Chain A
Amino acid sequence: MNDSQKQLEHLAEMRSLMERSTRFLSLSGLSGVWAGCCALVGAFFVRYYLEAQYLGEYGVSDVYYNRSGSATTAGLGYETTLVLTALAVMAAALAGGWFFTARKARLRGERVWEASSRRLLWALLVPLATGGVFCLALLYWNLIAFLAPATLVFYGLALLNGSKYTLGDVGSLGLLQIALGLSAMFFPGRGLELWAIGFGVLHILYGGWMYHKYDR
């Protein structure tokens, strides 16, 4: 059946076209590993440098409940340093993530900026921006204890939403982040650890696994 052989090839090609035209498949697992490493560095910095400055005043877990107007030795308040650290971690994670994904796209002979990646970014952006503003409001009302859970939950929702337009595994990573975030709501003193597990450990595990599965 030479003819059915040909038709089977056509079907395989059609399937690939349907997938490639709707999903951005050049997302690199290494982007996840890199983002996870950035998150861990950020979490360690907050725990062992920033919070150490407050130990004398409140003790580690109290930092989450008390607002302190006093400055760190760097001259910035706790919240300001926390936000700056978060922004630095995010910038480093995005820059590295972009680098590895652009590299994978180049190797696959695809562009990074195309219809499917734009759709993916848009799907991620709406929940992320919502979460960003939500967290700013938490900061504004001094609800620092809820920052870690909120970032986890909104990030998880963003991943779940974006998973329609990229590798499907991203969706289950999103569900795990949501679960972690919701549990963090009930353990406010452990927010930073759970945040480090979600943004650090899970990213590294998922990124490594996806790299193993798709990129090699």
Chain B
Amino acid sequence: MKDILNQLNPVFDHRNRLGIMSILAVNDWVDYGTLKELLNLTDGNLASHMKPLEAAEYVEYRKQFIGRRPQTTYASTAAGKAAFKAHLDALEAMLKFGK
């Protein structure tokens, strides 16, 4: 059991970060506003959860202008997808073990 727990990625140790990775796993690029809405988060809240994901290079972002308004869109990197999958595998193993 201890081994399995060690495989759980500490970067993903929060439901909102798992939420961000889930959305980015099935979409190409998602803009900040859509993420905020889907996750039901405030600006600051989403930013603070995005930071560790960016630091780990699990997500990348692109800034562009839609007319005059800046828009940031996010995608998960290959490393992020692999880490997310490993984390889910560990979760699955843990849940099986728990039974």
Contact = CB atoms under 8 A, between A and B. Distances in A.
A and B bound?
yes
B94 A4 contact: yes
Task: Point out which of B22, B31, B94 has the most chain A C-beta atoms below 10 A from its C-beta.
Answer: B22
Interface in A172-208: none
Contacts of A22: 26-27
Given A1-B98, A8-B95, A21-B27, A14 B34 contact: no
Contacts of B18: 10, 13-14
Nearest to A6: B15
B53 interface: no
Interface of A is mostly: helix
A11 interface: yes
The bracket for how many chain A residues form the interface is 10 to 19
Given A22-B26, A114-B34, A17 B19 contact: yes
B83 interface: no
A13 B20 CA distance: 11
Interface in B72-99: 91, 94-95, 98
Contacts of B30: 21, 115
B69 to A, nearest CB: 16
B94 A7 contact: yes
Interface in B55-83: none
B38 A17 contact: yes
B23 interface: yes
A11 B38 CA distance: 16
Given A1-B98, A4-B94, A4-B98, A10 B23 contact: no
A122 to B, nearest CB: 14
Q: 10 smallest A-B Cβ distances: which pairs?
A: A14-B22, A4-B98, A21-B23, A1-B98, A17-B22, A18-B26, A18-B22, A22-B26, A10-B15, A17-B19
28 contacts: A1-B98, A3-B98, A4-B94, A4-B95, A4-B98, A7-B94, A7-B95, A8-B95, A10-B15, A10-B18, A11-B91, A13-B15, A13-B19, A14-B18, A14-B19, A15-B22, A17-B19, A17-B23, A18-B22, A18-B23, A21-B22, A21-B23, A21-B26, A22-B26, A22-B27, A114-B34, A114-B37, A115-B30
Interface of B: 15, 18-19, 22-23, 25-27, 30-31, 34, 37-39, 91, 94-95, 98
